[in-house]
Amino acid sequence: MAAPVVTATAGTPRRAGAGRSGAVVRPYLYLAPATIVLVVVFGYPVLRLLVESVTVPGILGETGHGLDNFRSVIDDPILRRALLNNLRLFLAVPVMTVVAVLLATLLHERIAGWRFYQSIVFVPYVLAIPVVGIIFSYVLQRHGLLNQSLGALGLDPLVHDWLGSSQLAIWSVWVVIVWQQVGFGVVLFLARLSSLDPGLIEAAMVDRAGWWRRFRHVVLPHLAPIIEFFVTLSLINMLSWVFNYVYVMTGGGPARSTYVTELVIYQQAFRDGLPNLAAAVSVILLVLATVLLSAQSLVRRRIERMES
């Protein structure tokens, strides 16, 4: 039954043309559901965000349009301070990466008790950020656990108001973020290392390569793509995923010293009732995040070229 139909279709030029156009259209049909979902989930919100960001509210419900919101937020010293704090948090990324790579390498070598250590390293990452924030906000109080411990050890010169000092507060948050986020890097790097051919390490050892040379010439190149991924991801996190830490631990204070961009958005949107200004800052944040993602894409291509 099927054979004549196939023959007839193949033998007709018109039908052949339809087949070619069908072949052209078919991939788009396959892509259509996902495209529709993306347009609904991403496209509409982006459009709405852009519209909100250029909508200027007036009195008693009147509205206008223009770039006033962007002018306001760009002139805002608080936003500039917040962006500066995001940049300060960027400095945590190399620290997190180095610590995570070293810990992962040590654990990969199955040092005594490695399973236990692996759990210990990963546990902070499992904890909810608000829980971590609340605990550390108590630990780091002037009369909190940390200062009490330092005092008990006779280290009084190291006692500080960790969250109450505008010089120290952002760095206290910084340390807590590193403490919590390192575990994720360790797990990522360990997963990558598990795919490393043991023969390569053994060969290096036969060649009398020491730990550092094995690490430098075998382990590190193998980890490179994951390191690049982790670094990009962490940078984006430091830009747009640190709200919870700051909100819970300091609320942006003291004296605005720990403001981050997300907190500015939150306050404008939810505390001030200024969603349009919040949208303008969100657009700026979106652009910055997009730049980071683009940079990651460029780096990845370069690594792929090197590998090939």
136 binds another protein (CB under 8 A): no
Give me the least distance between CB of 262 and another protein, in Å please. Answer: 9
What is the rounded CA–CA span in Å between residue 240 and residue 34? 26
* Position among 275, 299, 300, 303 found at the interface with another protein (CB under 8 A): 275
Residues 206-245 that bind another protein (CB under 8 A): 232-233, 236-237, 240-241, 243-244
CB of 207 to another protein, least distance (A): 36
Q: What is the largest distance, in Å, between two alpha-carbon atoms of the chain?
A: 95
Q: Based on the shown chain and the rule CB under 8 A, indicate whether residue 282 belongs to the binding site for another protein.
A: yes
Q: Which of residues 61-100 bind another protein (CB under 8 A)?
A: 61-62, 72, 75-78
Can residue 304 be called a binding residue for another protein (CB under 8 A)? no
Q: Is the dihedral of CA 208, 211, 216, 218 positive or negative?
A: positive
Q: Which of 164, 162, 175 is nearest to 124 (CA)?
A: 175
Q: Which is nearer to another protein, 31 or 40 (CB)?
A: 40
The dihedral through the CA atoms of 197, 200, 202, 205 has a sign that is: negative
**Nearer Cβ to another protein, position 9 or 148?**
148
Q: How many residues bind another protein (CB under 8 A)?
A: 74
> Which of these segments, 5-13, 151-159, 212-220, 278-286, binds another protein (CB under 8 A)?
278-286
CB of 165 to another protein, least distance (A): 7
Using DSSP, state whether 51 is helix, strand or coil.
helix
H helix intervals, 194-241: 198-206, 211-214, 220-240
Site string for another protein, 164-203 (x = CB under 8 A): xxx-----------------x-------------------
* Cα gap 250→247, rounded to integer Å: 6
Q: Does 59 bind another protein (CB under 8 A)?
A: yes
Rounded to whole angstroms, how far apart are CA atoms 304 and 306? 5
In the complex, the smallest distance separating the C-beta of residue 26 from another protein, rounded to whole angstroms, is 27
